[in-house]
Amino acid sequence: MAEVKEKKGTFVKTKEIFVDAQGRVAPQSVDFEEAVLGAMMLEAEAASLVLEHLHEDMFYKPEHKVIFQAISEVFATGGKIDLLTVTEKLRKNKKLDAAGGSYNLALLTNKVISSAHIEYHARIINEKHILRSLIEISSQAIREAYDNSTDALDLLEKTEQNLFEISEKNFTRSGETMPQLMQNFMKELEELQKSEEALRGVPSGFTDLDRITQGWQPSNLIILAARPAMGKTGLVLSMARNMTIDYKRPVAFFSLEMSAADLMMRMVSSETSIPIEHLKTGKLSQQEMLTLTDKMSNLTDAPLIIDDTAGLTIFDLKAKCRRLKQQHNIQCVIIDYLQLMSLGTKEAKGNREQEISTISRSLKILAKDLHIPIIALSQLSRDVEKRSTTSKRPQLSDLRESGAIEQDADLVLFIYRPEVYGLSFDDKESSAGLAEIIIAKHRNGRTGDVRMQFIAQQAKFCDIDKFSNYSASMATGATYSQLMNSEDGNVVTLQSAMNDDIVGDTNRFAHEQQVPF
CB contact at 8 A, 163 and 315: no
In this structure, the number of other CB atoms found within 10 A of the CB of residue 478 comes to: 18
Separation between Cα atoms, residue 60 and residue 26, nearest integer Å: 9
Separation between Cα atoms, residue 142 and residue 306, nearest integer Å: 31
Q: What is the DSSP letter of 2?
A: P
Separation between Cα atoms, residue 209 and residue 212, nearest integer Å: 5
Catalytic residue among 144, 157, 257, 419: 257
How would you list the strands of the sheet with 11-13, edge to edge? 6-8, 11-13, 18-19
- Helix ranges (DSSP H) in 203-305: 207-213, 232-241, 260-272, 276-281, 286-300
H/E stretch holding 462 reads strand 460-463
154-159 long-range contacts, CB within 8 A, separation 24+:
157/316, 157/319
Strand duo 6-8 + 11-13: pairing: antiparallel
CB contact at 8 A, 336 and 254: yes
Beta bridge partners of 342: 313
Q: What is the DSSP letter of 26?
A: P
In this structure, the number of other CB atoms found within 10 A of the CB of residue 257 comes to: 15
| 277 tagged catalytic | no
Catalytic residues: 257
